[in-house]
Amino acid sequence: MSVIVLRNLSHCYPPNRVALSNINLQVEKGERVALLGRSGSGKSTLLRCINGLVTPTGGSAIVLDRELRDLSEREKRDLRRRAGMIFQDYALIDRLDVLTNVLVGRLGYLSTLPTLFRLFPKDDIEKAKGVINDVGLAGYERTQVRRLSGGQRQRVGIARALVQEPEIILADEPTANLDIRTADEALQLLIQLSEQRHATLVLSLMDVRAARQFCHRIVALREAHLVFNGPAETFSDEVMEKIYY
């Protein structure tokens, strides 16, 4: 079953910056797909089109059986919960503690009022504590995020995406600012937790080695065009040259 179907997807930022050009891509349920490409090739834009943060200027995106173009704002919010995003800088709120940052991931479920007063339902708090434990941060619930290391912050970002119980996890260079070992550990954790939840994972990576090692399939962009789409083991050094040089 395909959970993401992109047909001739294009995006142009005003006035005339073409970020994606006629992308055709299908992702199956439970797959783990790495998105490679130089900086500026369109990776972030592609991920943002998949969860409705960017509205494509051409073509079609069907995500979890819904054509994105047809969704109301409310339906888009629901989609963003079902296709959760882990941002490059983790988009955490530094002054708030780990538990509150993770609970922010549950906001999609709440009406505005309790959100304003940061009153979260007991169930949500229990769920948040559960994922904090899953990412190895038990005991840090009340620690301000600004006191954490890069690797720990990344785990908070993962927990915040997982607490939404997403069917698709989109991760935008989730390990960009980590040393190689911390990055590998964070990736392995993300993979293990998404597999346990039978979630589909699409992640952009700077690291070709990690893409080959940890993903089933590699999709590569070059200057807004999709130039490679195949099993990770067929991503040869020749292909790599073509994409980066």
Ligand X SMILES: Nc1ncnc2c1ncn2[C@@H]1O[C@H](COP(=O)(O)OP(=O)(O)O)[C@@H](O)[C@H]1O
Q: Which residues bind ligand X (CB under 6 A)?
A: 13, 17, 19, 37, 39-45
For the CB of residue 71, give the shortest distance to Mg ion in the complex, in Å: 24
Q: Which does 19 bind (CB under 5 to 8 A by kind): ligand X, Mg ion, none?
A: ligand X
Write down the least CB distance from residue 34 to Mg ion, Å.
14
The reply on whether position 175 binds Mg ion by CB under 5 A is no
Comparing CB distances to ligand X, the nearer of 37 and 140 is: 37
In terms of CB distance, is 44 or 164 closer to Mg ion?
44
The one of Mg ion, ligand X, none whose footprint includes residue 83, by CB under 5 to 8 A per kind, is none
User: Which residue's CB is nearer to Mg ion, number 40 or number 121?
Assistant: 40
Q: Of Mg ion, ligand X, none, which one does residue 40 interact with (CB within 5 to 8 Å by kind)?
A: ligand X
Would you state the structure tokens that stand for residue 101, as one six-digit string? 């940052």
Number of residues engaging Mg ion in binding (CB under 5 A): 2
Q: Which residue has the tokens 């919010």?
A: 77
State the amino acid at position 104 in one-letter form: V
Place of tokens 């954790």: 189
Contact partner, 139, from Mg ion, ligand X, none, Cβ < 5-8 Å per class: none
For residue 77, the SS3 value is helix
Question: How far is it, in rounded angstroms, from Cα 102 to Cα 120?
Answer: 11
CB pairs under 8 A, 24+ apart, for 181-186?
182/150, 182/151, 182/154, 183/207, 183/210, 184/210, 185/151, 186/151, 186/154, 186/155, 186/158
Give every CB contact of residue 175 below 8 A, 6+ residues apart in sequence.
154, 182, 183, 184, 186, 187, 205, 207, 210
Per-residue mark of binding to Mg ion, 34-63 (x: CB under 5 A): ---------xx-------------------
Residues near Mg ion, by CB under 5 A: 43-44
